[in-house]
Each structure stands twice: as C-alpha cells, then as structure tokens.
Chains A and B, each alone.
Chain A
Amino acid sequence: MKRIFLLNIMLLFVICVSYAHSEQNKSQAKSVIQIWMWGGSSQNDTFDPKPSAGYDYCGPLDKTILTNVPGIEINASLPMLAKIADKYSIIRSMTHGINAHESAAYYMQTGHKPGTGLVYPSLGAIISLFKGYGKGYNGKIPPYIVLTQSQGRFSEEGFLGPAYKAFATGGDPSQKQFAVEGIVAPGISDQQQIKRRELLQKLDLLGKSIPDDPDFLLFNKAEEEAYEMILGETRKVFDLSEEPDEVRDRYGRNWFGQCCLVARRLVEAGVPYITINYPGWDTHKQHFQTMQRKLAEFDQGLSALIEDLSKRGLLDTTIVWCCGEFGRTPKVDWSPPWNGGRGHWGYCFSAIVAGGGFKGGCVVGESDAKGEYVAKRPVYPEDLLRSILRLCGIDPDEPLPNDKGLDIKVMPYPENYSGEGELKEIMKK
C-alpha cells in the first residue's frame, strides 16, 4: 500500500515536472528586439513625467496623458503609446549611477561594470550563442543583427569571439533601396550580378583544372551560400517594397519607423536578436526642439511595432526592450551654453519591456517627486538583463560556454549585490 502510494506520488511529480517543462518551452521567448536609445533619453519627457515639479523640470513638455490602463499616465508627448499601455510595462527605477556613455552603455548591455580585465559579451552575443546556429536557428541571416550602424565596442561579442559578433546592416530602410552591406549593393542591378557571376565562373580556369581540391570545394560552397543572400530568397526579408503602403505609413516613413518594420520581418524570419541602434538622444543643447521631433517618430514607430507584433500573434514569443544607457538630468539647464538642455543621469531612469513573457500594463518601481532618484524597488542592469535571459529559457546562473577556458556564469549577480533581483512582478511564470 505504502509502495503504491509512493509510486503515485512519484508519478504525480513526474507529470508535474514534465508539464512545467513543456509549458516553459511553449511560452519561451524566441526573439528579442532591443531598441537602444543611444545617448540616453529623458525619463521625465517620456515614461516618468513629473508635471508637479514645475517648469524647471518639465520645460514645455509638462502635460501628461491617461493611458488605456487605469492609473498609468505617461508624458503627453507619446499619445500613440498611451493607447497600448496594456501591452508593455514601464520600469521607472532603473539605476546604475554611471554618467559616462561608454561605461554605462557597456554595463546596460553586458550586465557587468567595466574594469575587470575581461571584455564581457553583450546580451545579443549571449543570446546568439544560446539560440543561434546549432541551437535551433538555421537561417542564412546572421543571428545577431544591428539596424543599421554598429555600436562598436559597447555591445560586442567580448571573449566569446567573432562568431557571435553583431552583423550591422548599414544602409537606410527608409530609402527606396535598403542597401544591406554585402547583400544589396547599390548601383549594381540583378542583371549585372547574374552576368558577372557567369564571367567569374568562366574565368575560373584554376578551379576547373583541379575540380575536387577540398579547399576549392569549401570555397565554392561558401560562394553559393553568399549568392543565396545576394540573389536568393534571403534578401527579401530586407525588401520593404513587399509591405503594403498603409503598413509602411503606420510605422512612419523615417529611418526609425522603417527599422521597426524591418525588425518585425526579421522576427518573422526567426532571427533571435535584433538591435535598433537609435542615435540622437544625447541632447545637451536644443533638448526640447529635438524631443518634439524625435518623440513623434519614436511614438509612432514603437507603437506600430508592438501593435503589429501583437496582431500577428508574435508578441507572446518576442521580447521588446527599450531604453538608453542612462536617463537625463531631471532639472533643465537653462544657462548658456546649454540654453535648455539636459545632461547625463544614471541615478534613475526609465525602461520599457513588452512581450515574450513580460506582463503588460504594469509599472515597476518608483522615482522621487522630481524623477531624480529611485524611491522604490531599484532595478539594476543585471536585474533587467537576467529577466530577459530567463524568459528566453537561459538560466543566468548556468556556466557560459567559451573557448578561453574561463569559469564564468552567463550573467551572475556581482559581489556585494544589494538589489531586489529579477523582475518577477512582471514575469508571467
């Protein structure tokens, strides 16, 4: 009797474990889109408005707007994002206290402060290691894509090596032709591509004289793969002329809007990690003029992306995270030479996350009355990055495979860590 009882318990346990396991696989995020507001965007003028702090803190952007989630208000500069606030969550207490672009950008994307003697891989490199080639992804497009210009050494592969480096597309998707580096060559028609490939093959006398040389065979195979990208189906992912005009208009006919649209198409193609490296947020001068222009395109592009992913049923398996390396000084500097500018501010800033197992319609943490310091629930870069990894099915405390012989975990908490951990309050599991 006792044995049967034990057996039953064990069976139940096995069922529970396997159920939990399959559940986990089902809800796992497949792709991540990172919208990187390079330069650091203002928290006050976007997701953490402080209208009661007065003109010195708000400038002309002193209105808030009710979102479609009761109790959540954001800056009135983002009316379209206000309508879909149920689809994303706002973190108002991001903090790391670093006010230098390079160190902050590195920390925000690797989860490590610089200066340890090692260059750590960025989140994109880690995800392309765990979800890229040989791990279920076999697309021709590289697994870690940056639209459109590389961030350089602040989001690199680190000690993981060049195989996990980001592929920067170059070009501009809002132009008539999106000239993706190596794939779409401006000024060379398909006809010329085909013709000159024939010329190349005809002139290959050396190859023809030793047809089964192993190096040549490898070379030919690599060339075929390259031509699959240059002339085959792969490049169509980048061809926005396949999209209806209404869709392209909804995203906004500018660089950022069309990058968001390309990002959606890359998600559909199964690419695990896409960064939109969105520059221009380092507004020491001309801050409010720049905000008025940029926030309109930001609002339109990002809201279109989240809405479109949701409509296509992709938001459940796609994480969108959006922030810069830090925020901006809540108090506006009206004195010359800034004349109404905001400086760097790493003490407290905002980020938003959507999809892939993150709940929508929530606010994490709180800033003080002027948006200067964290009042409740500090969120450190490693907390956010660990949460994203967790939702991608990667345990941040498991070993990070590398060929350097380093005994390192994927993204451990630092020594003397004093935070409150991963964003459990907005994670569905």
Chain B
Amino acid sequence: MEAEVLLDALCWLSGEGEGYVSQIPEPFTYIPKENRTIALADGSITSSFLMTFGRPSRDTGLDSERNNKPTDKQRLYMLNSTDIQKKIRSSPILRKAFSQVWKNRTEAINTIYKVILSRLPTQEEISIIEEYFNNSGLRTDQVVGDIAWALLNSKEFIFKH
C-alpha cells in the first residue's frame, strides 16, 4: 500500500483523522481531521509517517520518486509503535468485536477479519487463533488486540489492499 492510503486506512480504523498543518510559517494552514491524506494537495505538507513510508516530496513529479520498498523503520512503526497500539485500542469498529468476544468468539474473529482484510477467516486461520486463545496465557483483551495487530502487520493487508 502507498503511504497515504495506508495512513488513511489506519485512521479510518482508529476513528480519527490525522489533521495536518502546513510547514510554511505564518499563517499556518490547518487541514481538518476529516480530510483524507490522499487528498492533500500540497506536497510540502507532510508528516514523519508519510516520510517513513516513502511518500515523495513531489520535487520532480516522477513516479520513481516514490519509494515503496519496505524498510526496518516502517516495520518498527507497524509492529511496535505507541501510535499503532493506540489506534488498535481506541478503534470504535474493533471495540465492537472486542465486546463480542465474550458472547461468541468466532463471530468476533469474523468481525476483525472483515474490518481489516475484508473477508472471512479460513478454517485454518480460525484454528490458529483458537489455539492462541487457549494456549498463549494472555488475557482475552490482549488476545483480541494481538489478532488485530497481526492482521494489520500481515503481508495480505500491506501488499494486497
């Protein structure tokens, strides 16, 4: 996924947009949080996320300026940043799945898969996750958080969407 698209997806999940401020001083341009990152018209408005994930500065207008190669800084961000942690915890959509888990575990897993990968889990995936529920020794809320985290970090989410 390209930087802007990935960030929009993560923001949609967390229920809150980024909100941007122009770098060029006074008067600052504030972009409302409802605006999507893909709609940013000004190439000079950026964030450390966008730079980390290879969004170009639009100096040349060439496609080759964009760098979509995975880097360890990107992986570090997706795997272990407080940002991702917060986005998973505060996500209104995931909260629904988190509360379902007490009534119907399979339904909850289905919801998380539909939200993040837009498909239902296969039987194999369900059994891997069931095993994680039973044998990881983690609390239920930690387990559902980890499922969402694992799907956000999957190649399917990052490369196929």
- B partners with A: yes
CB-CB contacts of B36-78 with A at 8 A, as 1s and 0s?
A: 0000000000001001100001010000000001111111110
A226 at the interface (CB under 8 A from B): yes
Alpha-carbon gap, A196 to B128, bound state (A): 12
Q: Which residues of A contact B76 (CB under 8 A)?
A: 182-183, 226, 229-230
Q: Which residues of B contact A179 (CB under 8 A)?
A: 82
Alpha-carbon gap, A222 to B124, bound state (A): 27
Alpha-carbon gap, A400 to B57, bound state (A): 20
B35 at the interface (CB under 8 A from A): no
Interface size class of A (residues with CB under 8 A): 35 or more
A181 at the interface (CB under 8 A from B): yes
How many A-B pairs have beta carbons closer than 8 Å: the answer is 105
Given contacts A182-B80, A200-B153, contact A222 B71 (CB under 8 A): yes
A233 at the interface (CB under 8 A from B): no
Alpha-carbon gap, A384 to B129, bound state (A): 59
Alpha-carbon gap, A102 to B74, bound state (A): 30
Alpha-carbon gap, A215 to B159, bound state (A): 9
Given contacts A216-B155, A225-B75, A226-B75, contact A192 B80 (CB under 8 A): no
Whether A192 lies near B138 (C-beta < 8 A) is yes
B149 at the interface (CB under 8 A from A): yes
- Find B124's partner among A162, A170, A205, A207 (CB 8 Å cutoff): A205
Alpha-carbon gap, A165 to B46, bound state (A): 14
A204 at the interface (CB under 8 A from B): yes
Given contacts A195-B136, A218-B69, contact A200 B75 (CB under 8 A): no
Could you tell me which A residues sit within 8 Å of B by CB distance? 102, 142, 153, 161-162, 165, 170, 179, 181-183, 185-188, 191-193, 195-196, 199-200, 202-207, 215-216, 218-219, 222-223, 225-227, 229-230, 404
Q: What are 10 A-B pairs with beta-carbon distances under 8 A?
A: A153-B23, A182-B77, A183-B76, A192-B142, A195-B136, A203-B128, A205-B124, A215-B159, A219-B155, A226-B72
